[in-house]
Amino acid sequence: MHELSIVQSLIELCEQNALNHNAKLIKEVQVKIGRLSGVEPELFQRCFETFKESCVYCKEAKLTIQNAELEILCLSCHKESILKENVFKCPHCQSIDFKILSGEDLHLMRLVME
């Protein structure tokens, strides 16, 4: 359950940003979780709700999660595609020679502070 350490790092980052910007509290934290990031959004949400209770700035924060699709660039036909299923080949030319453009990471997208 690595979501615990990820949430802990996220909250530390949020708290540091609030401190750096002289904010009184954080109202919203928006993250984007890639389909292949290995992070379970539901578990991430529960961990956030648990950890935020012991934080100075995040106590009232609302977590918004966006799911990021898996986007690839085919190195054979040079077309960008979104893979809807875990079938790892280009939907246009069926090549397995591709580069992942997005969908493997977790990103802090927005932080609303007051």
3-state secondary structure 18-87: HHHCCCCCEEEEEEEEECCCCCCHHHHHHHHHHHHCCCCCCCCCEEEEEEECEEEEECCCCCEEEECCCC
Which tens digits make up the pLDDT trace of 5-18?
999 999 999 999 99
CATH no. of 3-113: 3.30.2320.80
21 in a labelled binding site:
no
The pLDDT score that the predictor gives to residue 52 is 94
90 in a labelled binding site:
yes
Taking the model in full, what pTM does it have? 0.86
Which tens digits make up the pLDDT trace of 29-76?
999 999 999 999 999 999 999 999 999 999 999 999 999 999 999 999
55 in a labelled binding site:
no
Which tens digits make up the pLDDT trace of 64-80?
999 999 999 999 999 99
Which tens digits make up the pLDDT trace of 81-105?
999 988 999 999 999 999 999 999 9
